[in-house]
Structure 1
Amino acid sequence: MTTEALRLYYYPGVCSLAPHIALREAGATFELARVDLRTRKTEAGEDFAAVNPKGYVPALRLPDGEVLTETAVLLQYVADTWPEAGLAPLHGGLERVRFDERLIFIATELHKGFAPFTIMPNAGDEAKRWASQRLTARVELLARDLGERPFFHGDAFTVLDAYAFFALRVYPKLFAAELPANLAAFQARVAARPAVVAAFAAEGLKA
């Protein structure tokens, strides 16, 4: 075991924002390492390819030197490492299974659905039309799932909300589309949380 600090590798405003928010909500002590996604170097000159051979953020280096990747996994790690923060149901019952089901839905059906408009080279018009229709349907599903609740799992903020907040922040920017009213209210509610305000400030983002 080393005394190395918990370190989140991030780029401003992308999916690493979700675990960044979660770490602040958990009250974790950590440091940020901004990654230049073109050069694959951190601001301190560290070779990010040696940290995460996948080449993308987020990555979380643990105090023992282990590195975790994938947004949903980092969110689950934060929730389970700081259970007192109440950022996810405890393992061992259907409630947690349903919670993880929602988390993976955002990861695979919404977040990764942005690829034709963000990272996929030479995506054709037909592919973009199909992806756009699919994403719109997924956002409508989220709106129905949220309903009148303040957060996706009920009355308390969880890591599920951190991930949804990131994805729903990207969606209107890609399509110049308005979110359903309950999702827009959700976004405003989350954006006002102190941990989110602090994460935005640390990443140099505008609300």
Structure 2
Amino acid sequence: MKLYIKPGACSLSPHIVLEESGLDYETETVDLKTKRTTSGEDFNQINAKGYVPALLLDSGALLTEGPAIVQYIADRVPAKKLAPANGTIERYQLQAWLNFIATELHKSCSPFFNPASGDDLKKSAGANLERRLAYVDEQLAGRSHLLGEDFSVADAYLYTVLSWMPFIKIDLSKWARISAFVQRVSARPAVQAVLKAERLG
């Protein structure tokens, strides 16, 4: 498998999950401005959406969108417990978290990375992020991870989005449970390995 990434972007989430999975994989960096990969390929010819992550399977099939990719990886290695079993209420709770992170957290960060965004849009997005982060902090009460004690693919995604907060001037220290969560996930060997590989730590 090959994961197309941009260091520090949302592709960090499936990169962490691949490392946690123990599966064989490689990564290739994409310059999202020029749409060229490290090997010189036109990324638009690989993924017509033009953004990362994209996972090229050994069969030649391409899988896009982070929440889909991380669940695919998790289902390849059920013994790792990176996602609850399909058909269980816990799996649907995982999917609810993945959707929440994608639409309420990840998407609310977009204006801060878009030079065309005005101050009003950034202010509105920032206020939404503050409300949603307070909710996440409440949900972490009495648990180490989003679904309980086991690390899941949702935690990898949440950790990725939380890593952007310093860049958009949101201080996570006001939420003690979130701060502790970031420390716990940061300490995982797979996360440390990925941060090193992407030159982020």
State if a TM-score over 0.5 links the two structures.
yes
TM range (shorter): over 0.9
1:80 maps to what in 2?
75
From 187, 191, 195, the equivalent of 1:192 is: 187
TM-score, scaled to structure 2: 0.96
Q: CA RMSD in A?
A: 1.1
2:169 maps to what in 1?
175
- For structure 1, list consecutive stretches of 5 or more residues without a partner in the other structure: 1-5
Which residues of 2 match residues 1-207 of structure 1 at below 5 A?
6-119=1-114, 121-179=115-173, 180-206=175-201
Query: Residue by residue, what CA displacement relative to the aligned partner does 1:183-206 show, whole Å, maximum 9, x if unpaired?
Result: 111101101111001101111112
Query: Residue by residue, what CA displacement relative to the aligned partner does 1:139-179 show, whole Å, maximum 9, x if unpaired?
Result: 11110111131111111111011001011111232124234
TM-score, scaled to structure 1: 0.93
Q: Name the aligned partner's letter for residue 137 of structure 1.
A: R
Work out the CA distance in 1 between the residues paired with 2:184 and 2:172: 16
Hey, which bits of structure 1, 4+ residues long, moved more than 3 A? Answer: none
Q: Name the aligned partner's letter for residue 129 of structure 2.
A: L
Query: Residue by residue, what CA displacement relative to the aligned partner does 1:6-55 show, whole Å, maximum 9, x if unpaired?
Result: 00000111110000000010111001101111111111111111111111
Contact preservation (8 Å) 1:12, 1:205:
yes
- For structure 2, list consecutive stretches of 5 or more residues without a partner in the other structure: none
Identity of aligned residues (%): 44
In the alignment of these two chains, the number of paired residues is: 200
Work out the CA distance in 1 between the residues paired with 2:103 and 2:194: 24
Contact preservation (8 Å) 1:151, 1:161:
yes
Contact preservation (8 Å) 2:2, 2:55:
yes
